[in-house]
Structure 1
């Protein structure tokens, strides 16, 4: 399944790259002083700030959240996020994230962040690394397919996990 997701992601990335303009488009969305709000769809595998809904063997799991960032210089944003997750078999948990996102050639976002989850004293944390493609569908809106790997900071509390996300970013 992971191989299928990986091949699909790179296929989408290749198609978008072929449709991308050859010249750098100065859309102003990722310049110093700009803000970004991101809403991602993703899996429920780690504490996250994404929207997800999963049902397995009668157990429904869901999460909701968002991230906000500020561009401290062109192509570089400092970000923070909050999220909430719940399921029928466990108590709800709050997720928080802080990190940075950098756009290579104004089209290829890479990021690193710290993600923590708090749930009735069962805290877990990860360091996440990610890379993707920013397809600007308008001057201030981008769709960003992303591959992410979450590295656990405590093997006794959580596992490392791979994620494939589709992000929607609003720049202003």
Structure 2
């Protein structure tokens, strides 16, 4: 009986240590990395995935964002994207730098600067963006993050002053 009691205490102790390690090394802990792929929209300066085809014109974009958690729940991020248009043979190189903070480790709030370099353009667009969403963690390494985002144009004569969008992000945490 003493051996069974000792074994039960040992197993419970081991499980407690394992649970503690998991909470201390969560997906948004300091020192972790983040790689994101987001759905995008037709807005230039996109570091997400987008494809549209209408009336013989196809537009596309592919890109990824990555980040590093400098402290618990705060990641410094950067992203790159590349896209184009089939009608006017335009090429767009996009970039993004910013930060992402997870409120209570599950509500991501972002602030970033997004820009684009367009082939043969006189002026290139730039936006200041803010977004928020909710992170559903599917195990230790994957999250799905639907959210909303507002992009304020920093160009006077290039684009609309603001673009509001809904998107879904898919993130790997390691």
Q: If the length of structure 2 is used for normalisation, what is the TM-score?
A: 0.81
What is the CA RMSD across the aligned residues, in angstroms? 1.3
Tell whether the 8 Å contact from 1:126 to 1:150 is kept in structure 2 after alignment: yes
Note the alpha carbon deviations across 1:12-51, whole angstroms, 9 max, x for none. Answer: xxxxxxxxxxxxx836111111000000112122311000
Partners of 2:93 and 2:63 lie apart in 1 by 10
Q: For the Cα contact (< 8 Å) 1:47–1:85, is it kept in 2?
A: no
| Structure 1 residue aligned with 2:87 | 89
1:108 alignment counterpart: 107
Which protein has the larger Cα radius of gyration, Structure 1 or Structure 2? 2
**Where does structure 1 differ by over 3 angstroms across 4 or more consecutive aligned residues?**
none
Question: Do structure 1's residue 161 and structure 2's residue 131 form an aligned pair?
Answer: no
Task: Report the Cα distance in structure 2 between the residues aligned to 1:81 and 1:97, rounded to whole angstroms.
Answer: 5
In the TM superposition, 1:30-49 aligns within 5 A as 30-49=28-47
Count of residues paired in the alignment: 148
Q: Could you say which structure has the greater relative contact order, defined with CA pairs below 8 angstroms and 6 or more residues apart?
A: 1
Structure 1 spans left out of the alignment, 5+ residues: 1-24
TM-score by length of 1: 0.82
**CA distance, structure 1, for counterparts of residue 55 and residue 73 of structure 2:** 43
Q: CA deviation at 1:136?
A: 0.2
> CA deviation digits over 1:89-136, x for unaligned, max 9?
331110000000000011100000000100134311000100000000
Aligned to 1:142: 143
Shift of 1:155: 2.9
Do 2:44 and 2:125's aligned partners in 1 also have CA atoms closer than 8 Å?
Answer: no
